[in-house]
Each structure stands twice: as C-alpha cells, then as structure tokens.
C-alpha cells in the first residue's frame, strides 16, 4: 500500500474520531432541547405565561433545531462515505428515517449540479460490493456442501449400512443401495443449508454433519431397510401371480411376450408386448408399495390380478402380418373406387370384380375384359399380405413392390413417351463458346414451391422469324454432384444462371422467378385460361379435395377452362406421367397465359393494376421496368413456334447418384443387393457427355 493511501486513511480515521465527538455533543444538545420541550408542555395547563414563554423560546430555537438536523444528516452521509473508503459496510442511521428529512435537499449547490454519470459510476461500486458479497455467500455454501459430503463420519455411516453415493449434479448427491434410493442430499444456496430428504419424503436441514444429523440418517436408514424388505416380499408375490397358470395361458393364446423385470429408483416393473410393440406396463411403485397396470393403481394383489386378466382379454391384438393383410385389402378396395383408376379401367374396357375370391395361398380380385374373360387379377397373399399381379392362369407376373422397383430403376411409367431416342453423332466437336443471338433475347423463366425450383424453362426469342422457342430443363438433371434445381435456393440466381449457361451453351443473363402463388393469383385475375389435354391426366399420389371429398387428381383428355388452383394442379402433377410430361404441360400453360394476357386492353386499368400488384408481390426479376415495357411491345405479337424438353426420349438417361460412375458389371452386382443405397434418382446426358446438351440445343435452334 502506498504512503499517500496510508496518509489518506489515517486522516479519514482521525476525522471519523472527531466526527463521533461532534455527533455526541450535537445529539446531547438536541436531547436537552427535546426534554425541555416535554417538561414545558407537561406544565402548560398550569400557567399561560409559561406557555407564552415556551412558545417564544421554541420560535427562538427553531432555527437552531433545523440547523442541527441539517448537520446530523450531512454528518451521517459523510460518515457513510468514510465507512465505504475504509471497506466497512454502510450504516442506516436513524436520522435518515425522519419522516420529513431528505438529505438531498440540504446538499450544497455543487452537489445539485454534479454530473449524473458520476453518480451512476459510484452506484456501480455499491452494486459490485453486493455482487462480491453474494458470490462469497455462494462459495461459502458450496464449501459447506463439500465439507458435508466429504465428512469422514458420514462415510463411515454409509459404509456400515452398505450404501453408496452417486453425484446427480454439482449440488445434489444421491445415497443408494443398488437400484434402491435412500437419501437425496442437496444444497440450498439461498439459505446456505444442506437439505437431507429420505426416499419416503422425510427431510432435515443442517449446516454440518453433526450427531443430530447422524442419528436422523441412521433412523431413516433403518426404516428404509424395513421398507425395502416389504418391497422384496411384494415383488416375490407379484412374480408368483404373473407366473399363474391362468395368466400364462392368456399370454400363449394372445402370443404376448413378458419382459424380464426391470427397475429404477421409483418402480419395479414388467412390460407386456407383441412383436416388440409395448402394450402394457405393470409392477410396483416403490414409495407406497402399490401395484399398477399402466396408470391404474391397486393396493390389493388379488384385484390387480383380476384387472390384468380382464385387460388382456379385452386387448384387440393383431400381429404385423394380420395388420398387413387387412391393410392390403383396404388399399385395393379403396383404389378400385377411385374415379381416376375407374377411368383407366374404362379406357381399357376393363372391370374388376370387387368380391374377393379366396383360395389357399391368395385372395384374388379378378380383372375382366369386355368379352367377359378373366385376364388377370390383383392378389393378396394370405400369409404375408403382400399384393401381387397375376395373369389369367393365376401365375405371378410380379409383386406390386417389385414392379415399383423395376419401374423406378428403368425410369419408366405407364404413360411415358415411347419415341426412340435421337441418334447422337459419334463425334461432336467441343463447344466452348455461347450461342449468339445479338438481336434477340434469351432469359430464364423459373417457378418455385417453397425452397427448390420445380420449373426451369429457357426462353429464346428470335426476331428474324418472330418466334419464341422454349427449352424445359428437368429439375433432376445432376450437375457437379447436385440436382440443378437446388442451385437457385442454395447459391442464388447469379450462380444458377451461370451453371445453366455452361450446361446449355446459351448466354443467359436475365431471369424471371415466379412463386407458385403468383401462378394461381395471376390466372385468377385473368379470368382463367383455356388449355387442351391430349391424354387423360391421372395422378393417384396427388390428393385433391372437391365438394368436401378427397380424391386423386384426374382430368380426362379434352378442352378445359381452368382457374388458378386447377392450373397449378396440372402444372405440378408428375407421378403417373413424368417430369418430362409435366414440363410439356407447363409450357402449354405458359402459352395459354400469354394468350390470355393479349386479350387485356389498356382500358382494363383495374385489372392491369391488380396484375402489377400480384406480380410485384410474387415475382423476382433482374429486368428493369423499362426493359419489360420495351420487350413486351417488341415481342408481344411473336408466337411460340417450338417447345422442347430435355428428357430420356432424346439426350438424357436415368440412373442413381451412387452408381452412375460404376461399370456395367458393378451396377449389376449393386442392383441385385437390396441393402445397398443406390442414392437419389437423377438424370444425366447420354454417354455422360455434357457437350451433347449444347449440340442438341443448337441443332434445334438452327
């Protein structure tokens, strides 16, 4: 400590001593005055003259009394400042509690004009002191806890009774014997005491392991030993009941499994299950020694057994196979009633007999031709519930699951385009430059639902022949280790345009990104669109709700006037057709929207305003408003001359992300291994040559 600080503290101590003397003198004067007043007031009724003198004297000394009060307040404040510097706790002097007193009103002018930030800084020291004190109390509490749980006498007590300790957390210790809990020893930091609670809920508070605590714990240990002895007897009785012949017979009949007994601190229990599915929990609550079946409690073992038998008898138990068999029949009957499936039957002049025909191994639903002859059947295997398709002689063609695997592996579907793939030249020169369209415009039109981009269409406008060509890029095209439709969301439009430009050989710098909600809203604002479907559109996986009823998506071939929701359904459906068919439908929808746009006159200001509002809300683009107006006026009379889709009918093939780099021999081995994860279903250019896509697009443009 420096000499200056020592001198300062010495001066402050001397001042404190002087202040004490001054305070005693001042208080003595004040007491004399008060006693005088009391004495005079006591005799006031005897002499009015004395009263007059007292009042005069009181007025005379009033200023002295006020001055004394002020001095006391200031002295008390100074005293607390001195105590603070000396590291002593602040004192709440009685003078501060005078009802009319306010030390701030006596502060001098310099104090009233002091910097408030300085006062706040001073307050931080007071708060810091409190924090230090609180932290010190916590440390003391933890020290108490540590000393308690490491006490040698406690260790001897526990050892003599065969007990062990287990730390639950920093402030809690459990005293156990096997899976039986005896005590919870916990620190209460607020009161700096140890709370000892036995398993039955009896508690004791202490600050140290003393003889009283030792006696308390030993008494509770004796009681708990007796308690756990009763628990053991009840467990034995319970085991006998569970092994009862009547209950064992039920287990056999219902094909139930009883687990080995298990226990924790609170319960001793068994589990009844079927095919590893838990059905019932039963056992004993350790605290009150009651029996339980799930959430029901019993004090009498006979009543418990009776309830267990009734509960097992009431169980409606189906094994996995039985559940699968019922599920398969329900599935078939449901699909037979589906209007889309019915339409498919009608279009092929077929019908299904929905009354099942059962034989030893299978239950059949026969498929009948227009002639009345059976041509095959859907059959449910009676032992597994698996669905098979049979020929007319009831010979298995395939299981339904195997058919799905084959279709997916080959990239085929019932409505897939059967056109032969185009012939690719044996040698294609490397294309490194971008296609030049100096007078025209090439831009990306894409649509998204939530995160990924579902629709990717490249629009190429050629002024020379006033035509617009559309190229649909499938979203499952696998480029640089990822599906192309994930790039926009994960890396943004700039990277998306860059990668599409590299893949197609077209310089794409502009884009229009449309949210699916804009698609719906714009079509509704336009009053709907007209479109022709060349084939029935059936999608059993696309569930729709119309007139309060759920059904599958189904549109017969023909002409339709669609609202926004209906158009969106047609744009998104793909599971019973393909991504490629979907791309073609989306292009038809875009043309229909364009045609409907052209019917809007500039007199329809309300409709135009509503359209602009919707587009601003749901459309993102890097076209400026001036470019949009310019291109609209320039190209509005152009027609869509061609629509192309990159697909497996021309330059793409299907495979899986984990096998496409393997040799044909390796692929055969992998496909035969049902456990191998083939990865995601993807599309790649034929011969794995990305130059093929650029060549194909230029061939189409030229």
Confidence at residue 629, expressed as pLDDT on a 0 to 100 scale: 80
Do 476 and 683 contact (CB within 8 A), yes or no? yes
Averaged pLDDT, 451-458: 81
Average pLDDT over residues 249-276: 82
Tens digit of each residue's pLDDT (9 = 90 or more) over 83-113: 555 555 566 555 444 444 444 443 443 344 4
Separation in Å, CA 1 to CA 8, 9, 12, 475: 11, 11, 16, 78
Cβ neighbours of residue 11 under 8 Å, at least 6 residues apart? none
DSSP secondary structure letters along 628-641: HHHHHHHHTT-EEE
In a domain, 504, yes or no: yes
Mean pLDDT of 329-348: 85
Question: What whole-number distance in Å separates Cα of residue 611 and Cα of residue 588?
Answer: 21
Each residue's pLDDT tens digit, 623-644: 888 888 888 788 878 877 778 8
Query: HSE-up of 599 (CA within 13 Å, CB side)?
Result: 13
Distance, CA of 183 to CA of 256 (rounded, Å): 38
In a domain, 600, yes or no: yes
Whether residues 640 and 501 share a domain: the answer is yes
Q: Are residues 451 and 519 in contact, defined by beta-carbon separation less than 8 angstroms?
A: no
> What does the alpha-carbon distance between residue 420 and residue 581 come to, in Å, rounded to a whole number?
16
At residue 404 the predicted structure's pLDDT band, cuts being 50, 70 and 90, is: low
What pLDDT is attached to residue 60?
57
Do residues 367 and 350 touch, judged by C-beta distance below 8 A? yes
Give CA–CA dist 9/7, Å, rounded.
Answer: 5
- State whether 309 and 366 are in the same domain: no
Please state, for a pLDDT cut of 90, what percent of the chain lies above it.
Answer: 16
Mean pLDDT comparison of 43-57, 204-218, 544-558, highest-scoring range = 204-218
Average pLDDT over residues 132-154: 75
Q: Is the pLDDT of residue 222 over 90?
A: yes
Tell me, yes or no, whether 60 and 105 share the same domain: yes
Q: What is the pLDDT of residue 478?
A: 92
In sequence order, the β-bridge partners of residue 485 are none
- Asked if pLDDT for residue 405 goes beyond 50, the answer is no
- State the total domains in the chain: 4
**Phi and psi of 363, rounded to 5°?**
-115, 125
The structure tokens listed for 454 are 């579902």
Q: What is the structure's pLDDT at 373? A: 92
- Sign (positive or negative) of CA dihedral 487, 493, 495, 498: positive
Number of neighbouring beta carbons within 10 Å of residue 27: 13
Same domain, 456 and 555: yes
Q: Is the pLDDT of residue 216 over 90?
A: yes
Residue 220 confidence (pLDDT): 92
**What is 254-272 written as a DSSP string?**
HT-EEPPPEE-SSEEEEEE
Instruction: Note whether residue 388 is domain-resident.
Output: yes
Query: For position 47, what pLDDT does the model report?
Result: 47
Q: Residue 551: pLDDT above 90?
A: no
Cα–Cα distance measured from residue 671 to residue 679, given in angstroms and rounded to the nearest whole number: 12
Angle at the Cα of 67 (from 64 to 71), degrees rounded to 5?
135
Could you tell me if 647 and 536 lie in one domain? yes
Q: Report residue 567's pLDDT band, with 50, 70 and 90 as the boundaries.
A: confident
Strand ranges (E), 407-520 = 441-449, 452-462, 467-472, 478-479, 482-483, 510-515
Q: Which of 532, 547, 540 is nearest to 573 (CA)?
A: 540
Give CA separation, 435 vs 156, 515, 685, in Å: 91, 29, 19
Contacts of 131 (CB under 8 A, 6+ apart): none
So what's the pLDDT on residue 94?
Answer: 55
- Tokens, residue 161: 């009774």
Q: How far apart are the C-alpha atoms of 467 and 459, rounded to whole Å?
A: 10
DSSP state of 436: P
Q: At 655, which CATH number?
A: 3.40.630.190
Domain limits at 304? 243-314
Of the three residues 53, 84, 114, the one that is the final residue of a domain is 114
Does residue 38 register a pLDDT over 60?
no
- The C-alpha atoms of residue 638 and residue 210 are separated, in whole angstroms, by 99
Q: Which of 431, 455, 452 has its CA nearest to residue 511?
A: 455
CA distance 395 to 351: 20
pLDDT in the model for residue 499: 93
Residues in the chain: 702
User: What pLDDT shows up at residue 522?
Assistant: 80
Q: Can you tell me the distance from the alpha carbon of 4 to that of 2, in angstroms, rounded to the nearest whole number?
A: 5
Q: End of a domain among 97, 114, 131?
A: 114
**Do 626 and 556 reside in the same domain of the chain?**
yes
Domain membership of residue 573 (yes or no) is yes
17 & 67 share domain: yes
Mean pLDDT of 311-324: 74
Higher pLDDT, 607 or 335: 335
Residues 6+ apart with CB under 8 A from 161: 177, 218, 221, 225
Lowest-confidence range among 41-50, 575-584, 594-603? 41-50
Task: Determine the pLDDT at residue 672.
Answer: 62
Residues 693 and 621 occupy one common structural domain = yes
Residue 610: band (very low, low, confident or very high) from pLDDT cuts 50, 70, 90? confident
Highest mean pLDDT of the ranges 85-99, 249-263, 314-328 = 249-263
Residue 302: count of CB within 10 angstroms of its CB: 9
> Residue 652: enclosing H or E segment and its boundaries?
strand 652-656
- For the chain, give the mean pLDDT: 76
- pTM here is 0.41
Q: Are residues 472 and 592 in the same domain?
A: yes
pLDDT value at residue 344: 83
Position 640 in a domain:
yes
| Burial of 696 from C-beta contacts in 10 A (0-12 / 13-18 / 19+) | buried
Asked if pLDDT for residue 326 goes beyond 70, the answer is yes
- pLDDT (average), residues 319-340: 80
Based on the domain organization, do 515 and 654 belong to the same domain?
yes
Mean pLDDT of the region 140-160: 84
Distance CA 273, CA 279 (A): 5
Of 27-36, 347-356, 670-679, give the lowest mean pLDDT range.
27-36
DSSP string spanning 116-133? HHHHHHHHHHHHHHHHHH
Residue 701 pLDDT > 50, yes or no?
Answer: yes
Residue 196's pLDDT band, with cuts at 50, 70 and 90, is very high
pLDDT digits (tens, 9 = 90+) for 410-419: 444 433 343 4
Q: Is residue 183 part of a domain?
A: no
Tell me, yes or no, whether 206 lies in a domain: no
CA distance 472 to 103: 85
Give the whole-number percent of the chain exceeding pLDDT 70: 70
Write down which residue in 94, 114, 134 finishes a domain. Answer: 114
Q: Are residues 575 and 462 in the same domain?
A: yes
Task: Mark whether 396 and 250 lie in a shared domain.
Answer: no
Q: Which residue would you say has higher pLDDT here, 217 or 572? A: 217
Is 44 part of any domain? Answer: yes
pLDDT for 495 beyond 80: yes
């Amino acid at each position: 400590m420096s000499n200056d600080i020592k001198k300062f503290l010495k001066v402050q101590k001397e001042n404190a001593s002087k202040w004490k003397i001054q305070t005693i003198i001042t208080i003595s004067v004040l007491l004399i005055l008060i006693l005088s007043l009391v004495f005079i007031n006591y005799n006031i009724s005897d002499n009015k003259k004395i009263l007059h003198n007292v009042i005069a004297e009181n007025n005379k000394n009033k200023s002295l009394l006020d001055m004394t009060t002020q001095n006391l307040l200031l002295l008390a404040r100074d005293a607390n400042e001195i105590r603070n510097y000396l590291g002593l706790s602040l004192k709440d002097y009685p003078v501060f509690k005078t009802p009319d007193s306010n030390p701030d009103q006596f502060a001098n002018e310099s104090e009233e004009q002091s910097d408030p930030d300085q006062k706040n800084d001073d307050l931080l020291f007071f708060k810091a002191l409190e924090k230090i004190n609180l932290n010190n109390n916590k440390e003391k509490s933890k020290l108490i806890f540590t000393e308690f749980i490491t006490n040698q006498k406690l260790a001897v007590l526990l050892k003599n009774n065969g007990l062990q300790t287990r730390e639950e957390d920093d402030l809690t210790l459990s005293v156990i014997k096997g899976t039986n809990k005896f005590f919870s020893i916990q620190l209460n930091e607020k009161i700096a005491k140890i709370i000892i609670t036995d398993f039955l809920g009896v508690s004791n508070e202490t600050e140290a392991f003393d003889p009283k605590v030792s006696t308390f714990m030993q008494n509770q240990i004796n009681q708990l030993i007796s308690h756990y002895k009763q628990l053991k007897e009840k467990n034995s009785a319970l085991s006998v009941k569970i092994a009862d012949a009547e209950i064992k017979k039920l287990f056999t009949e219902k094909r139930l499994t009883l687990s080995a007994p298990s226990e924790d601190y609170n319960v001793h229990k068994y589990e009844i299950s079927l095919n590893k599915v838990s059905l019932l929990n039963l056992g004993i609550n350790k605290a009150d020694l009651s029996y339980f079946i799930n959430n029901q409690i019993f004090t009498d073992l006979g009543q418990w057994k009776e309830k267990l038998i009734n509960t097992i008898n009431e169980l409606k138990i189906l094994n996995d196979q039985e559940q699968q068999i019922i599920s398969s029949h329900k599935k078939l009957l449901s699909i037979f009633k589906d209007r889309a499936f019915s339409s498919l039957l009608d279009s092929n002049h077929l019908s299904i007999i929905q009354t099942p025909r059962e034989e030893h191994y299978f239950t059949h639903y026969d498929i009948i031709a227009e002639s009345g002859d059976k041509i095959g059947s859907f059959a449910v295997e009676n032992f597994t519930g698996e669905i098979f398709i049979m020929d007319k002689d009831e010979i298995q063609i395939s299981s339904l699951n195997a058919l799905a695997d084959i279709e997916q592996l080959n990239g085929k579907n019932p409505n897939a385009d059967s056109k032969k793939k185009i012939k690719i030249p044996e040698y294609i020169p490397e294309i490194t430059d971008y296609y030049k369209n100096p007078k025209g415009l090439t831009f990306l039109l894409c649509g998204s639902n939530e995160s990924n981009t579902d629709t990717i269409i490249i629009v190429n406008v050629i002024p020379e022949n006033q035509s617009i060509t559309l190229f649909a890029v499938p979203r499952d095209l696998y480029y640089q280790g990822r599906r192309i439709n994930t790039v926009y969301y994960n890396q943004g439009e700039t990277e998306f345009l860059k990668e599409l430009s590299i893949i197609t050989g077209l310089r794409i710098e502009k884009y229009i990104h449309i949210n699916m909600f804009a698609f719906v809203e714009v079509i509704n604002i336009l009053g709907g669109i007209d479109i022709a479907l060349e084939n029935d559109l059936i999608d059993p996986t696309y569930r729709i709700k119309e007139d309060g009823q759920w059904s599958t998506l189904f549109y017969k071939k023909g002409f339709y006037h669609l609202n926004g929701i209906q158009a969106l359904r047609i744009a998104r459906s793909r599971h019973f057709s393909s991504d490629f068919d979907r791309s073609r439908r989306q292009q038809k929808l875009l043309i229909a929207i364009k045609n409907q746009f052209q019917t809007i006159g500039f007199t329809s200001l309300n409709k135009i305003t509503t359209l602009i509002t919707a587009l601003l809300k749901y459309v993102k683009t890097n076209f400026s408003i001036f470019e949009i107006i310019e291109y609209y006026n320039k190209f509005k009379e152009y027609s869509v001359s061609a629509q192309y889709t990159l697909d497996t009918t021309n330059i793409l093939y299907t495979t899986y992300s984990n096998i496409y780099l393997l040799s044909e021999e390796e692929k055969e081995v992998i496909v035969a291994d049902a456990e191998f994860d083939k990865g995601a279903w993807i599309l790649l250019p034929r011969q794995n040559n990305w130059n093929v896509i650029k060549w194909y697009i230029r061939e189409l443009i030229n």
